[in-house]
Every structure is written in structure tokens, then in C-alpha cells.
Amino acid sequence: MTLEERLKAQIAEHKVLIYMKGTPDAPKCGFSAQAVSVLKAMGQAFAFVDVLAEPEVRATLPQVSNWPTFPQIFVNGELIGGCDIVLSLYESGELKELFDGM
């Protein structure tokens, strides 16, 4: 299995997945910390991949997702965006609707 195939399989396997810098308990960037805080505030279970621990993922995922920065949050196999978009969806109530519809 190629790395690209592995990434696509990870994205498909988890209802909510965040590719982030660090871990949910120890984020290593402010944007990852904010995104995790939103997911936790929603009470939403999620999987994560630390892209700092896996540099090949950090280098390859932007080509797979067509999104250049981290974190990257996927819901039901679709990229919903990074930190700013997740915060905006949270504040507007759209994130709750998205999670309620899962």
C-alpha cells in the first residue's frame, strides 16, 4: 500500500479525523490546539495523526487533500478545512449540524 492509499484509507475509516501538529493532549501549534478545543467542546470523538511524528504524512497529505496547511479536519471522509474554518463553523452552529447529521 502506498502512503497516498494509506492516507485515503485513514480518512475513510474514521468519522472525524484531524491531522495535526502534536497530540490532542499536547498540541504543538496554536492552530492545532484551537481545532482540538473545538472538537472537545462539541463532545465529538475523533481520531488524530501527529504529522510532526510522521514527516512523510506531513509532506504527502497536502497533495492528497489539496489543502496546504495543518491542521486538516476530515468529517465522513470529506475535508472540512483547517482551524479558521472549523472555528467559523463552530461559532455559526454549522459544525453542530454537521455532527448531528452523522
Domain boundaries, the chain: 3-100
First to last CA, the chain: 29
pLDDT of residue 53: 97
Q: Reduced to 3 states, what is the DSSP secondary structure of residue 42?
A: coil
CATH number for the segment(s) 3-100: 3.40.30.10
pLDDT of residue 66: 95
pTM of the model as a whole: 0.95
DSSP state of 90: H
Phi, psi of 73 (to 5 degrees): -115, 125
Task: Report mean pLDDT in 10-residue bins for the chain, 102 residues.
Answer: 95 97 97 97 96 96 95 96 96 94 84
pLDDT of residue 101: 84
Cβ(24)–Cβ(48) under 8 Å? yes
Residue 59 amino acid letter: A
pLDDT of residue 42: 93
Phi, psi of 27 (to 5 degrees): -65, 145
pLDDT of residue 85: 96
Phi, psi of 82 (to 5 degrees): -110, -155
Question: Across the chain, where does the E strand assignment appear?
Answer: 16-20, 22-23, 26-27, 47-50, 72-75, 78-81
